[in-house]
């Protein structure tokens, strides 16, 4: 059996998109009883690595990690057999949807603090 290629090695060699396509194809079968939901953990297992390899990929090849997340998001959103509850939980837990919303609205990460006053008592704009 051939040695499994790491996510980082596949990205460096420009073969990660091909590997993702092969994984997706392995999940698609004609019979629904054998159908597998393509997911990030399943892809990592198929590649012979753990989820921590995705975290490392985000540091070394951010565009490839973003592409991998986009493919897995698309697969989840277009799943013919998963309930919306399962899809929502998957997006929050594995694809960090709950973190993205908090991170995009926070200025604290860049060292800035923003105060917003909803009511100006003196009504002078200060």
Please give the distance of CA 28 from its chain centroid, rounded to a whole number: 20
For range 49-63, the mean pLDDT: 91
Q: What is the pLDDT of residues 16-51, one digit of tens each?
A: 999 999 999 888 876 666 678 888 889 999 999 988
Which residues have C-beta within 8 Å of that of residue 117, sequence separation ≥ 6? none
Kindly report whether the global pTM for this prediction surpasses the value 0.75: no
| Angstrom distance (rounded) from CA 122 to CA 15 | 62
Residue 78: closest CA among 24, 31, 34? 24
For range 2-18, the mean pLDDT: 83
Tokens of 74: 């698309």
What are the CA-CA distances from residue 13 to residues 18, 43, 110 (Å)? 11, 18, 34
| Angstrom distance (rounded) from CA 112 to CA 48 | 41
């Amino acid at each position: 059996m051939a040695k499994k290629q790491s996510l980082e090695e596949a990205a460096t060699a420009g073969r990660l998109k091909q590997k993702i396509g092969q994984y997706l194809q392995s999940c698609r079968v004609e019979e629904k009883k054998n159908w597998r939901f393509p997911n990030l953990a399943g892809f990592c297992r198929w590649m012979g690595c753990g989820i921590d390899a995705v975290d490392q990929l985000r540091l070394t090849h951010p565009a490839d990690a973003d592409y991998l997340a986009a493919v897995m998001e698309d697969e989840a959103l277009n799943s013919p057999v998963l309930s919306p509850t399962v899809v929502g939980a998957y997006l929050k837990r594995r694809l960090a949807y709950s973190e993205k919303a908090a991170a995009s609205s926070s200025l604290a990460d860049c060292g800035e603090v923003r105060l917003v006053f909803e009511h100006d008592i003196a009504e002078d704009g200060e």
